[in-house]
Amino acid sequence: MLVIAVLNIHEELKSDDSFEIFCYDDNLELKNDNVVDLKKVVNGTTGLPKAVVIKHVRQLFVMEAAHKAIGLTENDIIYCHLPLYHSSGGQISTASAILYGTSTFIKKKFSASAFWKDCVKYNITATQYIGEICRYLLAQQPSPEEKQHKVRRMFGNGLRPAVWTEFVTRFNIKDISEFYGATEGNTSTLNNENRVGAVGFVGVIEPSWLQELLLPLRVIRVDPETGEPVRDSNGLCIKCDPGEPGEFVGKIVKGDPIKEFNGYKDEKATSKKILCNVAKHGDRYFRSGDILVQDEFGWMYFKDRAGDTFRWKGENVSTAEVEVAVSKSLDGAGTVAYGAQIPGFEGRAGMVCIQGNPEDHNLEQALQKLSNQLPGYAIPLFYRFSTSLDMTGTYKLKKTKLQEEGIDISRVTDTIIFLNKTKFLPLDKSVLDDIESGKIRL
């Protein structure tokens, strides 16, 4: 059917020499100068970092569910500004166009300065977001277009509670659909009721057998140091109490488009995401790798990535919370928070990489703000300044290399500033020696 549809307008498409058609079909009628054989293009690719297996039934279910659960209609005009190779762009934002014929404007590259201008120009009524994009938009100077647009709904993930109300108020967004989930996973949830900060809802009043049948999702207790599940005397996982952070997991049910986990091309990567003997012996659950909190009513709140928390002075520190707080204290500067290993010290000390130069920011003033937003143990001790932050295609900040380099000034060429009580000192060998010897107490 799709081949016939393309053939009907093929001559019109050919009129633009810059427009390429990618064909994953053996239909010879489509093979000409501006048609690219997609089979040859994708031959041998595995994807980065992990190639995800997505079956057709899963793809169709996600696209159908996205359209209806978010509340989109055939009359909407959707703005897609994320890469189509990512599920947010290729599955969610384009779903309505593919299944229902909804108009979708695809932007080649996201631009914060052009965002609201595009929305006005193309009469956009719904658009996606990623947490970082929300921060970029808030950092922009006010413009007439941010109030003139017709956007009634935004959908995505990563809109943190700290900026949620400010975001919807400033840009006059009537409805936010915040969802949680991984492309390959079975732990998807959706908050389409404008509950500030929530990423979804999992009922708590239904009997356990009904929950197991309809939505077998749970938050389980994990060891903050090792990340491994804490088990009871029977060897089963322990469900977290309301308000207690834990890892979000979902029961794997083979053949079910919602609850199935088809894994990755790499079998070893697949096995790492499967947890056995969770609610009963013999069951299998998908490990989301994310730390969530469920309140007493059933609302789910994203806490952090597992592994993106670190322990300092006997306390668990959330990098997500630190990033938001530091960014706000520095007027929206790009930040990456992580824990840095200090020789001779237990745990990891807080460190943050900030986009820009030290002279661009007033750290003393920022510290005053941080003191009101974070507990003392969560305020970063080390501040690294970099001209750019390494990001993925969906504007998620990479931090593995930063964690590995830590405060090793023999490897780091960027400026690092150390917070010694209330004074900021350039980190050099002399200061490092004083820290390691205990002359400077952390």
Q: pLDDT tens-digit profile of 131-155?
A: 878 888 998 999 999 999 999 999 9
Output 258 or 202, whichever has higher pLDDT: 202
Averaged over 79-92, what is the pLDDT? 87
Q: What is the model's pLDDT at position 17?
A: 59
Q: What is the model's pLDDT at position 34?
A: 65
Q: What is the pTM of this model?
A: 0.74
Averaged over 217-225, what is the pLDDT? 89
Q: What is the model's pLDDT at position 3?
A: 65
Q: What is the model's pLDDT at position 23?
A: 74
Output 402 or 24, whichever has higher pLDDT: 402
Averaged over 202-223, what is the pLDDT? 88
Considering the chain, what percentage of its residues have pLDDT values greater than 90? 50
Output 304 or 83, whichever has higher pLDDT: 83
Q: What is the model's pLDDT at position 48?
A: 47
Tokens standing for residue 421: 């009580």
Structural Rg of the chain based on CA atoms: 24
Chain center to CA of 421? 33
Distance CA 135, CA 122 (A): 23
Which range (56-65, 86-95, 244-253, 390-399) has the least confidence?
390-399
Angle of CA points 319, 416, 348, to nearest 5°: 40
Q: What is the model's pLDDT at position 162?
A: 78
Is pLDDT of 404 > 50? yes
Is pLDDT of 425 > 70? yes
Which range (91-100, 169-178, 425-434) has the least confidence?
91-100
Q: What is the model's pLDDT at position 329?
A: 93
Is pLDDT of 233 > 90? yes
Give 403's pLDDT tier (boundaries 50, 70, 90): confident
Give 220's pLDDT tier (boundaries 50, 70, 90): very high
Output 248 or 19, whichever has higher pLDDT: 248
Is pLDDT of 28 > 70? no
Is pLDDT of 339 > 70? yes
Is pLDDT of 158 > 80? yes
Contact 346, 254 (CB under 8 A): no
Averaged over 317-345, what is the pLDDT? 89
Is pLDDT of 315 > 50? yes
Which range (4-18, 110-124, 340-354) has the least confidence?
4-18
Averaged over 301-330, what is the pLDDT? 85
Count how many residues are written for the chain: 442
Is pLDDT of 268 > 80? yes
Contact 289, 188 (CB under 8 A): no
Averaged over 96-115, what is the pLDDT? 92
Distance CA 117, CA 144 (A): 9
* pLDDT, averaged across the chain: 87
Beta-carbon-side half-sphere exposure of residue 404 (alpha carbons within 13 Å): 5
DSSP state of 231: B
Output 45 or 355, whichever has higher pLDDT: 355
Contact 309, 289 (CB under 8 A): no
Tokens 């003392």, residue located: 376
Is pLDDT of 427 > 80? yes
**Taking phi first (over 0 means left), then psi (-120 to 50 degrees means alpha), and beta for anything else, what does residue 412 get?**
beta
User: Which residues have CB under 8 Å from 199's CB, separation 6+?
Assistant: 157, 178, 179, 180, 189, 191, 292, 300, 301, 302
Distance CA 413, CA 297 (A): 49
Output 314 or 107, whichever has higher pLDDT: 107
Contact 243, 250 (CB under 8 A): no
Is pLDDT of 49 > 60? no
Q: What is the model's pLDDT at position 303?
A: 85
How far apart, in Å, do the first and last CA atoms of the chain sit? Answer: 67
Q: What is the model's pLDDT at position 65?
A: 87
Averaged over 1-5, what is the pLDDT? 63
Q: What is the model's pLDDT at position 42?
A: 67
Considering the chain, what percentage of its residues have pLDDT values greater than 70? 90
